[in-house]
Structure 1
């Protein structure tokens, strides 16, 4: 791989990275989009099921729903940015440019023609969707559109290993493909690397969600925030093998699906007045409580016409040998990181020349818990704004790049895999749905030792798997430290009652 330059370097090919590339290309600058993905399904956006929330005539209600779901922790200005730009972004890109064939309402329905869905913690029906597989209907057309633009070069199967910095300014990144690596210098660098699902035993994310962008930014000195807020989706298929995990869209409960414990009892009304449509963190903890108490939880889809409304999910059930007519076994699984690289309303990070968009960023929209179907929207809105701003960053400068060494023999093929097993076990056991100080302290000790081992190998070896493991250990430590430093139980950072600081308990009395 040879050294190169580009006006804007984008790392990641989900909806946020693609939106940034589109916006920058519209301004006429040269764009390089580097992605580990070799297929659209390697990006988290492809796996998005429910849809994309939009602002209709309910802007105030939309804002209130986001704030309520966030447990009051969302940044009001960021929420205003999302809600205020939602309709234009969707109309411009998804409808106008890509002509996405969203599901339509029955003739005569009182809508603008679309079949808007309602999901948990939404007070209105405002979610555009395509069946229960919206992401896979949006991402391929976006990539195809970008491939047709002369200004955009897409580098597939290409990983970013480390940012190139000089005197507090980011000048690009070291890229790797097929074992070869070299710097790509850029006027602006946009991280759009997705989430951290690979850090947990069960996740709805693709395997490549190792937190690369967050780790690279943190190592370079960029600010990160809200890392303790890791959201677990309450309804993922509870197969015997974690690799069989798949998401059962919140839209199923929006259409009338019910949660029942192993004794056949519907339990959510006992936990929240909105029952199955309570915020995700509430439902996820309730599901885990009922699994522990009764032995299991199923999603009862008998109240709706599941086969006709969710054919893609029927197919997933059939692939896994699940008789959905008897109820679908479910359990919480890691789903989304609400924190990440701290950015402003244009996606700018604290380091000049660096932007972050999508799940690897912390815009402030989600606070302590994300409202359903706002992730695609956030990626689209911030991707467009970041790409537009990045296009004005100026020409790339060639500076001294990090000297990555690869002088020692390659490690055994199972080295990274075995370390990941250890990391996932620690995160699943100690930094999951509920936390306490003792577990978090234990996790930090194990993770620090693991990071020390990995750092020692990285000093003399440069391989994608090893750098992914380094990213995962760095991000795992960031999550665990943030959780241990936050004494307030909020949203998806849930502290077991005995772990809540005395003053916090007193405040709640």
Structure 2
């Protein structure tokens, strides 16, 4: 069913460029990895959009890290394990938490600015699943601030070149070694050969009908790694954020940060009842999978498309100062959050699975690394703890950089005459309609609640779509994205079918008839 390369090519006939390291993706993990690689190496940072278009840039809440003496490292480890249903790799979690402080210090040295109190101390907040305040933030646009600081530093480095609007089609390999990437820009398709390749391509949100993710999150890195034979694991663990602003017309939903609940907001149903006390002892600060499921149950019970988030009991000036971005965006949508409830519902937000990577970010393909959301080090288990994602990106991005600094010094760049040929019939169907079909299938059968019957139906449909896409070819980014989305959908569905019992974000419901009710 799988096609190794998405297009025909012959390296003898196309242009070739060379560098030491290729990094695909300019979210926090990609930028931070680049900045920690030795300045003696030439680095190419590739992004299919603009440098600041990423899920990292959209992150509101903050970065979880034990930076004060009052913070308990063991508590952060336990909170991460508990949220992940103890499915986490414990060594990965230990690395994440213990190396947080040194990497936060690096971020601040690079220029990231976090909120401070009147005494100059970094302010910390709390989110769902956390037993204490340990989350650094920059108002409610932490990701944007971190990306700003990293981008400014990247532009200063003479050894780093950023190529925007450059789409990576496939990984080039030889004898289980990654030797570069096949690239498309606005002019041509060419090969970029390198000593090492890092995939930091972000999430898979566009596979679902509604998501908080960037429009470019089509799972490209996971899909191209799958085609090259990299191990892909735990794809059934898709996280659905409980509180996205409900608007029936919007496919991309505006995220209402978990930090809003961390500062006292309460979830209410259509009867104005605060319902989370019925589902978990932590109430509104329960882990995300529990809150998302609870909201879905309330939506079904009340026959209402959303529930409500209430922060009206907090002082208006506090709300405007602490959450200026959320306040302004909600106001644009007709809701004054200091006086009115926010309509919210769960949507796709993050994936815990992905490209299997070890403690140094290495995959089973030599010289191919993965970090950030596209990777799976086992750190998040079956459900990610809030604000551990940006931390994951910097801790394991730094580890990848240190490994590359050691490994590629005496390595040569391969110059091989690789080529690939398959059926060249032009695809004539509407790619946007295929994308929408994938999203409909995933929302209907592989959303928060899953059933065996529905997943089997979904598998049949997605397999048919993949067969159709692979029978033809089309040199367009829309085609490449569509194939990538189909493969990612297939990986999620087949992984979900293998895990017959509920665990974390993977919730199997036997009496559902295989179909979600939203």
CA distance in 1 between partners of 2:215 and 2:190 (Å): 24
Is 1:454 the counterpart of 2:465? The answer is: no
Alignment-derived partner of residue 116 in structure 2: 104
CA distance in 1 between partners of 2:164 and 2:24 (Å): 10
- Unaligned 5+ runs, structure 2: 1-13, 514-518
1:6-21 correspondence to structure 2 within 5 Å: 6-21=19-34
Is 1:369 the counterpart of 2:375? The answer is: no
After superposition, give the CA deviation of every residue in 1:7-38 in whole Å (9 maximum; x if it has no partner): 111000000001111111x3521101111122
Alignment-derived partner of residue 61 in structure 2: 50
Q: Secondary structure at the match of 1:193?
A: coil
CA distance in 2 between partners of 1:499 and 1:483 (Å): 15
Is 1:80 the counterpart of 2:94? The answer is: yes
Is 1:443 the counterpart of 2:458? The answer is: yes
CA distance in 2 between partners of 1:201 and 1:69 (Å): 26
Alignment-derived partner of residue 484 in structure 1: 497
Alignment-derived partner of residue 424 in structure 1: 439
Is 1:65 the counterpart of 2:76? The answer is: no
Displacement of 1:402 in angstroms is 4.2
Q: Secondary structure at the match of 2:173?
A: strand
Matched-pair contact (CA < 8 Å) for 2:139–2:324: yes
Displacement of 1:292 in angstroms is 1.5
- Unaligned 5+ runs, structure 1: 501-509
After superposition, give the CA deviation of every residue in 1:142-193 in whole Å (9 maximum; x if it has no partner): 1121111111011100111011011111111101111521111110010000
Matched-pair contact (CA < 8 Å) for 2:45–2:161: yes
CA distance in 2 between partners of 1:449 and 1:30 (Å): 43
What TM-score, normalized to structure 2? Answer: 0.91
1:253-292 correspondence to structure 2 within 5 Å: 253-292=261-300
Matched-pair contact (CA < 8 Å) for 1:11–1:17: yes
CA distance in 1 between partners of 2:199 and 2:252 (Å): 29
CA distance in 2 between partners of 1:28 and 1:345 (Å): 24
Residue 91 and residue 186 in structure 1: after superposition, are their counterparts in 2 closer, same or farther (change >3 A)?
Answer: same
- Range moving further from structure 2, 123-132 or 387-396: 387-396
Is 1:321 the counterpart of 2:297? The answer is: no
CA distance in 1 between partners of 2:122 and 2:510 (Å): 44
- Range moving further from structure 2, 397-406 or 78-87: 397-406
CA distance in 2 between partners of 1:410 and 1:441 (Å): 27
Displacement of 1:256 in angstroms is 0.2
CA distance in 2 between partners of 1:225 and 1:244 (Å): 26
Displacement of 1:395 in angstroms is 3.0
Matched-pair contact (CA < 8 Å) for 1:13–1:33: yes
What TM-score, normalized to structure 1? Answer: 0.93
Alignment-derived partner of residue 36 in structure 1: 48
Displacement of 1:491 in angstroms is 0.4
Matched-pair contact (CA < 8 Å) for 2:55–2:203: yes
Displacement of 1:245 in angstroms is 1.2
1:211-226 correspondence to structure 2 within 5 Å: 211-226=219-234
Q: Secondary structure at the match of 2:295?
A: helix
CA distance in 2 between partners of 1:401 and 1:183 (Å): 10
1:109-258 correspondence to structure 2 within 5 Å: 113-178=121-186, 180-243=188-251, 245-258=253-266
- Range moving further from structure 2, 489-498 or 188-197: 489-498
After superposition, give the CA deviation of every residue in 1:244-270 in whole Å (9 maximum; x if it has no partner): 510000000000000000110000000
Alignment-derived partner of residue 9 in structure 2: none
CA distance in 1 between partners of 2:162 and 2:418 (Å): 22
After superposition, give the CA deviation of every residue in 1:460-495 in whole Å (9 maximum; x if it has no partner): x22211111111100110000000001121000011
Is 1:398 the counterpart of 2:418? The answer is: no
Matched-pair contact (CA < 8 Å) for 1:7–1:395: no
Displacement of 1:448 in angstroms is 0.2
CA distance in 1 between partners of 2:154 and 2:321 (Å): 33
CA distance in 2 between partners of 1:404 and 1:157 (Å): 26
After superposition, give the CA deviation of every residue in 1:421-456 in whole Å (9 maximum; x if it has no partner): 100000011000010100100000000001111112
Matched-pair contact (CA < 8 Å) for 2:210–2:252: no
Q: Secondary structure at the match of 1:242?
A: coil
CA distance in 2 between partners of 1:39 and 1:90 (Å): 22
Alignment-derived partner of residue 303 in structure 1: 313
Matched-pair contact (CA < 8 Å) for 2:178–2:367: yes
Kindly report the root-mean-square deviation, in angstroms, between the aligned alpha carbons of the 2 structures: 1.7
Q: Secondary structure at the match of 2:359?
A: coil
CA distance in 1 between partners of 2:404 and 2:359 (Å): 13
CA distance in 1 between partners of 2:224 and 2:252 (Å): 30
CA distance in 1 between partners of 2:85 and 2:427 (Å): 47
Is 1:90 the counterpart of 2:104? The answer is: yes
Q: Secondary structure at the match of 1:243?
A: coil
Residue 79 and residue 402 in structure 1: after superposition, are their counterparts in 2 closer, same or farther (change >3 A)?
Answer: farther
Alignment-derived partner of residue 433 in structure 1: 448
CA distance in 1 between partners of 2:280 and 2:240 (Å): 17
Alignment-derived partner of residue 7 in structure 2: none
After superposition, give the CA deviation of every residue in 1:182-206 in whole Å (9 maximum; x if it has no partner): 1111100100000000000110101
CA distance in 1 between partners of 2:424 and 2:277 (Å): 61
- Range moving further from structure 2, 238-247 or 444-453: 238-247
Q: Secondary structure at the match of 1:426?
A: helix
Higher-helix-fraction structure: 1
Is 1:471 the counterpart of 2:471? The answer is: no
Q: Secondary structure at the match of 2:75?
A: helix
